[in-house]
Amino acid sequence: MPCSPEAGITGAEMKLRSYLLALGLVTVLPLLIFSIVMTISTSLEHVAVVKDSLTDTSRAISLAIDRRLTGSIDVLEALANSNALDGGDIAKFREEAERVFSAHESWSLLTVVEPTGKRVFDLGRPPTPDWPTTEDDRFFRNALGSRRPLVSNLIGQGTSGGRIVYIAVPVNRGAIRYDLIAGMDPSIMAAGLAAEDLSSPRTAVLVDRRQTIVARSADADRVIGTRAPAGLTRAIGGGAEGSVTDMDPDGVTTYAGFHTSGLSGWTTAASVPTAVVNGPLWHRLRIVLLVGLGLVGVGLLGSWWIERRIRLPIVALSSAAESLANDGPVRPTPASAIFEINSLSRSIAHADRLLRERAQGWEHAEAELADQREQFRVTLASIGDAVLATDTLGHVTFMNDLARSLTGWSGDEAVGVPLDTVLSLVDEENRKPIESPFARALREEAIGGAGGRTLLLSRSGEELPVECHGAPRRDAAGHTVGAVFVCRDTSERRRAERERADILARAHAARDEAEAANRAKDEFIAMLGHELRNPLGAISNAIYVLDLIGSQAAPAVQARQIITRGVEQLVRIVDDLLDVARVTRGKVALKHQPVNLADSVTQCLSSLSASGRSARHRITVDVVPVWVEADPFRIEQVITNLVVNAIQYTPADGAIHVSVGSAGHQAVVRVRDSGSGISPEMLPRVFDLFVQGSRTLDRPQGGLGIGLTLARSLVEAQGGTIAAASEGMGCGSEFTMRLPQIPAPAEQPEAPPVTSPPAARRILIVEDSQDARDMLRIYLAQSGHQVFEAADGVGAVEAALRARPDVALIDIGLPGLDGYEVVRRIRATPEGQEMFLVALTGYGQPKDQYRAREAGFDAYLVKPFDRDRLSNVLTAARRRTSEEES
């Protein structure tokens, strides 16, 4: 029997009507609370505005009373300036006082008092006023001592038995001679307050400095002379003006604003009953509460009506769902005006139809499932890997044909046998049994390999490399019901891995061989440069000797010039070989500084012209100053290589044009020639190492094909580019170098050149090459120096300590002790501390120079060195010796 949906409600659940009622309250109550808060806030703001208005009113009334008092003070001060008082003519002064007194009806009496307190005369209006008594003596004393106008508190007796207010003005003639005192009845003040435009029920009250009421706009006779309300009294003591909630003399609670006069010290207060101000507030609150309660009632009634419209269809739907769950007939539910309920009703009806259709198809599905099981079994039997299945205890339940073939077990024999017996796995390296794949699959609950190098031992004892993986089998509830294992024969893969390993080994060997060959090449180039520099140094020194002592006949001079150019060309080739080796390894150290490309081009062309290499060509120049940040030596080396390349491939009398300019933010150097040009197939390879264009047998161009390679590497190392262009063979070629342009730097003052030749020195030559030593000795001796010699390291140390030379030129590569050790031993002696030691070597790499400085050398000369470089070294030695002597 279906049960009511409400029958199963627990203590933690609520009915739909409760939620809807709560929703109605949650919707209406915030609005009601908001309305109440806004009403109260508005009313409080209105009260604040009323209090501010009362304060403004009291300020205006106070100013009006101050004007009235100021008028009386002005009249008394004018009377105090009478000439009759200066001459002591009291009778005449009395006549003037009577005229003034009669003109001011607000005064009830006027008296003149001497400093001793004696009254000179008195004036009063009928009925005859009561003159000040002794109890008012304090005010008169204060008036005499204040030396300024003074207004009293409410004191004395008026004509009507009431009180009075005095205004005193001193007569000052260097000293107080008299005091003029006018008396005013408080009723005049009350009339003034009543004359102010105060809308009923507002009232105004005037309080003196002792908080005694002086006047009131309404019912003044009853309250004059009484104390001001306590709240107003406390507020007056707290500030010159403000507002207060207090009880007036009539016992009515009021809002009052007050202002204290700076002239008299009196306080004027304007008030209004709080009931007048707060009455509208309570009226609005009552209206808001009544409207809010009405809205709450309407909301609750609407919630009840909506609850019935929702609850009854839901109850019907609940009964239908319960019938659907119990496989019973589902009765149609009544239609509802709510879309979602109708949609749910249609869904339940649709679900009922589907369940009945599916019940009819279950039998067909079971037949298909049986067919799928058969297909799965056939698939596993024919798969290319060995497949085994086990139950929860690890006993074999299934094996396909390949698994039977690998293990040597037949299907019937293996069923029920533990997996570890059928699938016997060992580690190929240590021959130890591998942990059961079944236990591993169940423990890790994931597919896991049985081992990286695994052998399967078949039933017949054969070994087969395999790769096995296993995973647990689970039912629909997620419970493990066994495991499935897949094993693959890896014999072919092992064979492929061995072949790949052999190939990799051969590749590594080839790479090592290539790297060794590359290192050998670098070492060979360095050694070649060193070995070439030594004889070149001897030849260069021989040329210097011939220049000193040789014949000056034209053939002899021409022969020396030819030898010089040949040596320079060989030196340049050696330098290019070493530089290109360092550049390709990224070991070139660049010294960046501002460089003017126009000066660099001019310097290079001047050097080529001086050496005679450009004499057979027409070289034109078009340069403008353009600055770059680069290594000046390397830039000149690049430009020289480009111009020399143009000279080599341009016939005699050919034209070569060199230009320097800028394009955008780049500095551009172009070298254009009218030479043999570059073929299209050679153009992409023109910057490759050792690549040259086609040569004839006579090789008129010469060179090794490394100049352009070195030029491109140096330019790219400094952030630039270099490109070649040619229209083909016989059309000439153009090489363009581009570098980032910089602004021209500020001009620096140039140091004056040192032109004085080096003085005669005592020089020790340490060189194992007899030719190089002889030529250098002869050259230095002809230059006026005293020369000593040594051929090996040991002899160098002995000669240095014996001869004590000023300068020692020491070759690095010496037999016995090398040059570094020679320097260390010389520097270790007291005599060696002052010697200027110069390294001579064919190695010119930065690391060689650094090592020489560390060993103790003062200078470094790379063979072959020119006369200017040697002269500079000797000059530097003389300068250091002079500084030490001074």
464-522 pLDDT, tens digit per residue, is 888 887 888 888 787 888 888 888 888 888 788 888 888 888 888 887 776 676 666 66
Q: Which residues pair with 203 in a beta bridge?
A: 271
Distance, CA of 24 to CA of 305 (rounded, Å): 12
- Name the burial class of residue 886, with classes exposed (0-12), middle (13-18) and buried (19+) by CB atoms within 10 angstroms of its CB: exposed
Structural domains of the chain, ranges and CATH numbers in brackets: 46-68+189-278 (3.30.450.20), 81-184 (3.30.450.20), 383-489 (3.30.450.20), 590-742 (3.30.565.10), 762-885 (3.40.50.2300)
Tens of pLDDT, residue by residue over 165-179, are 888 888 877 677 788
Distance, CA of 84 to CA of 92 (rounded, Å): 6
Q: Helix, strand, or coil here: 609?
A: helix
Tens of pLDDT, residue by residue over 287-304, are 877 887 777 777 777 767
3-state helix, strand, coil in the chain (%, to 5): 50, 20, 30
Please check the confidence at residue 692 and state whether its pLDDT lies above 70: no
pLDDT bin (cut points 50, 70, 90) of residue 451 is very low
Q: What is the dihedral of CA 237, 242, 248, 252, to 10 degrees?
A: -140
Tens of pLDDT, residue by residue over 616-661, are 889 999 999 999 999 898 898 899 889 988 888 898 889 999 999 9
- Arithmetic mean of pLDDT over the chain: 77
Are 178 and 114 spatial neighbours (Cβ–Cβ below 8 Å)? yes
Please check the confidence at residue 735 and state whether its pLDDT lies above 90: yes
Tens of pLDDT, residue by residue over 142-162, are 666 677 888 888 876 443 455
**pLDDT attached to residue 199:** 66
* Measured CA distances, 151 to 124, 165, 170, 410 (Å): 19, 7, 12, 135
**pLDDT attached to residue 755:** 47
Are 74 and 83 spatial neighbours (Cβ–Cβ below 8 Å)? no
Backbone angles phi and psi of 590, in degrees to 5 = -105, 140
pLDDT bin (cut points 50, 70, 90) of residue 98 is confident
Please check the confidence at residue 447 and state whether its pLDDT lies above 60: no
Other CB atoms within a 10 A radius of the CB of residue 255 amount to: 23
- Show contacts of 126-130: CB within 8 Å, 24+ apart: 127/159, 128/159, 129/158, 129/159, 129/183, 130/156, 130/157, 130/158, 130/159
